[in-house]
């Protein structure tokens, strides 16, 4: 089975413009992501709509594919980049360009999901440990799964509801899972999702993956205990720098 890793990266982020080019140690953030992906996959490229990012990727020896600036999602950008790449792959892995600490073990776990022939899309989840207030954060997307690991539903609300239990005790009463936004798609599934109009569930929760579930695609999940730091704001970058510094001095 052939895998291609694509890293969507935009310059015009509302909360942190230019974040793929922000320096983390002696490398831009996008280089960290690229090099992590290249440890696992033979074919890697950055999908971008900005020449500054493309030039930076070329500067460290990577491959960049220029895409339209009008895409509504990273998934659409990844699809266009794949079509433009000239590659033939069985699975496309979508790695966010703001995840410099994505672990090779996470990427391998994602790839292993496709050993199941009924997997259309794969993603990662992390067992939740913490307080109810942390769990209730709508930016932490919760996942409920079938016994075989396929996703039943994703929500910004706390699911499942623990009936008869005080909310503060829910994390101790049930193993909750938090979604990690790393995806792999069979190429035919990537084509299918690109043709799907927004669904009612997706619109309600503002979660793209609900469109795929509502249209009958099978999303298999793999579990990871690795904590990563996505860089959405300058404060996140400072936290990533502290983590890198601590790793350097271990």
pTM for the full predicted model:
0.93
Tens digits of residue pLDDT in 96-147: 999 999 999 999 999 999 999 999 999 999 999 999 999 999 989 999 999 9
- The domain total for the chain is 1
CATH number of the domain residue 156 falls in: 3.90.550.10
* Rounded-to-integer distance, Cα 115 and Cα 119, Å: 8
Kindly list the distances between the CA atom of residue 32 and the CA atoms of 25, 43, 51, 98, in Å, as whole numbers in the listed order. 10, 16, 19, 9
Q: Is the pLDDT of residue 191 over 60?
A: yes
- Interhelix angle 51-59/29-38, rounded to 10 degrees, is 60
Residue 231 Rama label (left phi>0; alpha psi -120 to 50; beta): beta
pLDDT score recorded for residue 229? 81
Sequence-separated (6 or more) residues with CB below 8 Å from residue 241? 24, 25
Count the neighbouring beta carbons within 10 Å of the beta carbon of residue 191: 13
Q: From the CB of residue 48, how many other CB atoms can be counted at a distance below 10 Å?
A: 27
According to the model, what pLDDT value does residue 128 have?
97
Q: Which domain holds residue 233?
A: 3-248
* Interval 48-106: pLDDT, tens: 999 999 999 999 999 999 999 888 788 999 999 999 999 999 999 999 999 999 999 99
Taking only the tens place, the pLDDT of each residue in 202-226 is 999 999 999 999 999 999 999 999 9
pLDDT at position 101 is 93
Cis status of the peptide bond prior to 244, with omega within 30 of 0: no
Per-residue tokens: 187:
């190429």
């Amino acid at each position: 089975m052939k895998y291609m890793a694509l890293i969507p990266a935009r310059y015009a982020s509302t909360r942190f413009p230019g974040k793929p080019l922000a320096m983390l140690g002696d490398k831009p953030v996008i280089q960290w992501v690229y090099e992590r992906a290249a440890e696992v996959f033979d074919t890697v490229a950055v999908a971008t709509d900005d020449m500054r990012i493309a030039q930076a990727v070329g500067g460290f020896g990577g491959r960049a594919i220029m895409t339209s600036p009008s895409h509504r999602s990273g998934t659409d950008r990844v699809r266009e980049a794949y079509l433009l790449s000239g590659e033939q792959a069985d699975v496309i892995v979508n790695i966010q360009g703001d995840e410099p600490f994505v672990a090779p073990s996470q990427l391998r776990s994602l790839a292993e999901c496709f050993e199941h022939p009924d997997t259309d899309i794969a993603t990662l989840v992390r067992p939740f440990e913490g307080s109810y207030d942390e769990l209730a954060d709508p930016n932490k997307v919760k996942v409920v799964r079938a016994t075989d690991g396929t996703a039943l539903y994703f929500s910004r609300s706390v699911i499942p509801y623990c009936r008869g239990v005080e909310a503060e005790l829910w994390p101790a009463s049930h193993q909750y899972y938090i979604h990690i936004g790393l995806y792999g798609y069979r190429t035919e599934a990537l084509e299918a999702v690109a043709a799907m109009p927004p669904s009612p569930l997706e619109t309600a929760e503002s979660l793209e993956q609900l469109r795929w579930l509502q249209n009958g695609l099978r999303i298999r999940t793999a579990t990871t205990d690795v904590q990563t730091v996505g860089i959405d704001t300058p404060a996140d970058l400072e936290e990533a720098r502290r983590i890198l510094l601590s790793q350097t001095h271990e």
